[in-house]
């Protein structure tokens, strides 16, 4: 199994895959949205919690959340490595995915020919320990299954707005209120954007901060949350500015607090003090606002460009056609995190998606076998359905036929299990299915369904 992405979704998928006995290779960058997060307060028992538990010095926990996102990634990578996950050289990224003609995992001949594999073309590095030549980098990586967990890239403002050349991002400029909003309790903050995400962020922040300034470059909002906008306009702590853009963030030297509470000089870094605003189109006068932090919510783009033509996409988002499963339109490709989920965008939901994707992939590898056939007297082969393709109606129909057949008595009341509507514990029903379909039985000691199935098989024999 190859996992694309080394964030919470990718690392969790790798861990689950390795513990399930799969050979796992992870390709991805060490940098991402979580690595830039200065807090991970809403992740249960995250790195900050470890620091708090392990610290023997109360002063050492004065700022336990600093760099928590990166700490979590380091710990998760170490855990995955412990269970046998292989990591490509940092920065090795997929540039193209080619899906071979599908075949069933049990088809050894097709596997030897390379059919059915997923070929991943990479750039930027090679597997750890391999030579880093152009020839090595051109060789595609072949895998039975692929988990795509490459995340999304938040849209950013023009670089000219940041006088620190990018050092504000992740420390004073953010893209997730749920992640970082609590850092600004009682402070003044700004929100940039005009969609639903920006309006929702401003409403959430009003529960925490002293005041919110919502800045949108257009005169009208794209947000469909009219009720939310009305709440913002009615709240004295909220200011809405339309027709404005950020000309430049205003910064000042960052001071460091000593243990005794006094100031001990600067850290050499800059902190956010406010923003200079300029008119976008309607001739608004330039103005200055004060803010200690800002949330830039002008959209995010899923990193799926290399998948074009391989699986079905909704715009740039991978489509998951099977509800709660992480399966894509191709059974060999699974998606986890923001590449397939624009609704939650949390580290913990991405990790959960990664676990589900690995479980789904392992189950597919384990259960996908060549379709069974029945050999007739004339030598012709008739394809049969697999057991998991037997529908509820077919089971019910088989049950009714078996119940009415004089050659076999109807099941006694004691033979009907708690799920009798599916005929899972009826000897007659299972016998009828065995007669029609080849069935593979996995026997577990003490399982009543397995015992009933074996009884049906003995009757058939």
Distance in angstroms (rounded) separating the CA atoms of residues 301 and 66: 27
Mean pLDDT of 449-460: 64
For 272-282, letters b (16+ CB in 10 Å) and e give bebbebeebee
Q: Residue 46's pLDDT is what? A: 61
For 380-414, letters b (16+ CB in 10 Å) and e give eeeeeebeeeeeeeebeebbeebbeeeeeeebeee
CA angle 7, 13, 19 (to 5 degrees): 130
Domains 2-153+301-367 and 159-298 share a fold: yes
Q: Is the pLDDT of residue 460 over 80?
A: no
Q: Report yes or no: 250 and 274 within 8 Å, Cβ to Cβ.
A: yes
Residue 392's pLDDT band, with cuts at 50, 70 and 90, is very low
**Phi–psi pair at 278, nearest 5 degrees:** -125, 155
SS3 161: helix
Q: Is the pLDDT of residue 4 over 90?
A: yes
Q: Residue 126's pLDDT is what? A: 44
Q: Is the pLDDT of residue 284 over 50?
A: yes
First to last CA, the chain: 41
Name the architecture of domain 2-153+301-367: 3-Layer(bba) Sandwich (3.50)
Backbone torsion region of residue 179, taken as left when φ is above 0, otherwise alpha when ψ lies between -120 and 50, otherwise beta: alpha
Tell me: the pLDDT tens digits for 38-95? 566 677 866 555 555 455 344 444 444 445 677 888 889 999 999 999 999 887 888 8
Q: Report yes or no: 143 and 115 within 8 Å, Cβ to Cβ.
A: no
Q: Which two tokens stand for residue 333?
A: 């490709």
Distance in angstroms (rounded) separating the CA atoms of residues 36 and 67: 8
Q: Residue 419's pLDDT is what? A: 38
CATH class assigned to 159-298: alpha beta
Q: Report yes or no: 24 and 84 within 8 Å, Cβ to Cβ.
A: yes
Q: Is the pLDDT of residue 15 over 60?
A: yes
Q: Report yes or no: 430 and 452 within 8 Å, Cβ to Cβ.
A: yes
Residue 341's pLDDT band, with cuts at 50, 70 and 90, is confident
Distance in angstroms (rounded) separating the CA atoms of residues 181 and 189: 9
Please list the residues that pair with 190 across neighbouring strands.
213, 294
Distance in angstroms (rounded) separating the CA atoms of residues 311 and 340: 12
Q: Report yes or no: 80 and 11 within 8 Å, Cβ to Cβ.
A: yes
Distance in angstroms (rounded) separating the CA atoms of residues 56 and 99: 53
Distance in angstroms (rounded) separating the CA atoms of residues 283 and 384: 72
pTM for the model = 0.61
Most confident region among 94-103, 196-205, 254-263 by mean pLDDT: 196-205
Q: Report yes or no: 279 and 285 within 8 Å, Cβ to Cβ.
A: yes
How do beta strands 300-302 and 152-154 pair? Answer: antiparallel
Tell me: the pLDDT tens digits for 247-281? 999 998 877 544 444 444 455 688 899 999 999 87
Q: Residue 340's pLDDT is what? A: 93
Torsion of CA 169, 170, 174, 179, to 10 degrees: 180
Max CA pair span of the chain: 95
Q: Residue 343's pLDDT is what? A: 81
* Structure-model confidence comparison of residues 232 and 102, the more confident one: 232
Q: Residue 54's pLDDT is what? A: 53
Q: Report yes or no: 272 and 294 within 8 Å, Cβ to Cβ.
A: yes
Lowest mean pLDDT among 37-51, 263-277, 304-318, 417-431: 417-431
Q: Report yes or no: 328 and 315 within 8 Å, Cβ to Cβ.
A: no
Q: Is the pLDDT of residue 352 over 80?
A: yes
Tell me: the pLDDT tens digits for 23-42? 999 998 776 777 666 566 67
For 101-136, letters b (16+ CB in 10 Å) and e give eebebebeebeeeeebbbbbebebbbbeeeeeeeee
Q: Where are the domains of the chain?
A: 2-153+301-367, 159-298, 373-460
**Phi–psi pair at 429, nearest 5 degrees:** -65, -45
């Amino acid at each position: 199994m190859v996992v694309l992405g080394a964030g919470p979704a990718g690392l969790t998928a790798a861990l689950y895959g390795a513990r399930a006995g799969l050979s796992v290779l992870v390709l991805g960058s060490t940098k991402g949205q979580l690595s830039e997060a200065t807090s991970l307060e809403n992740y249960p028992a995250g790195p900050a919690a470890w620091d708090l538990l392990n610290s023997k010095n109360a002063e050492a926990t004065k700022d336990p959340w600093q760099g928590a996102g990166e700490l979590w990634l380091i710990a998760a990578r170490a855990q995955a490595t412990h269970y046998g996950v292989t990591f490509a050289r940092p920065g090795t990224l997929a540039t193209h995915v080619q899906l071979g003609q599908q075949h069933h995992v049990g088809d050894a001949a097709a596997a030897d020919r390379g059919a059915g594999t997923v070929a991943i073309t990479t750039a930027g590095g090679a597997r750890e320990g391999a030579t880093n030549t152009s020839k090595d980098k051109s060789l595609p990586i072949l895998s039975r299954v692929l988990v795509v967990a490459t995340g999304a890239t938040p849209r950013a403002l023009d670089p000219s707005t940041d006088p620190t050349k990018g050092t504000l991002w992740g420390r004073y400029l953010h893209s997730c209120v749920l992640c970082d909003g609590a850092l600004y309790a009682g402070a003044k903050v700004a929100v940039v954007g005009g969609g639903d995400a920006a309006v929702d962020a401003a409403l959430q922040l009003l529960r925490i901060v002293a005041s919110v300034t919502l800045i949108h470059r257009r005169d009208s909002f794209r947000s469909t949350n009219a009720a939310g906008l009305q709440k913002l306009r009615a709240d004295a702590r909220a200011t809405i500015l339309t027709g404005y853009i950020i000309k430049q963030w205003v910064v000042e030297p960052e001071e460091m607090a000593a243990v005794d509470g006094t100031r001990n000089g600067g850290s050499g870094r800059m902190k956010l003090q406010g923003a200079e605003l300029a008119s976008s189109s309607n001739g608004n006068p330039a103005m200055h606002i004060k803010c200690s932090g800002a949330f830039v919510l002008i959209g995010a783009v899923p990193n799926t460009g290399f998948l074009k033509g391989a699986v079905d996409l909704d715009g740039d988002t991978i489509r998951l056609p099977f509800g709660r499963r992480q399966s894509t339109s191709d059974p060999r490709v699974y998606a986890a995190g923001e590449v397939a989920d624009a609704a939650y965008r949390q580290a913990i939901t991405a990790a959960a998606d990664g676990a589900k994707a690995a479980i789904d992939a392992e189950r597919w590898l384990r259960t996908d076998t060549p379709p069974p056939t029945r050999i007739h007297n004339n030598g012709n082969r008739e394809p049969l359905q697999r057991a998991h393709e037997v529908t509820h109606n077919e089971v019910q129909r088989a049950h009714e036929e078996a119940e009415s057949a004089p050659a076999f008595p109807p099941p006694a009341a004691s033979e009907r299990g708690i799920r009798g509507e599916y005929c899972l514990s009826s000897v007659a029903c299972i016998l009828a299915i065995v007669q029609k379909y080849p069935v593979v039985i996995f026997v577990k000691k003490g399982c009543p369904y397995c015992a009933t199935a074996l009884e049906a098989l003995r009757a058939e024999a």
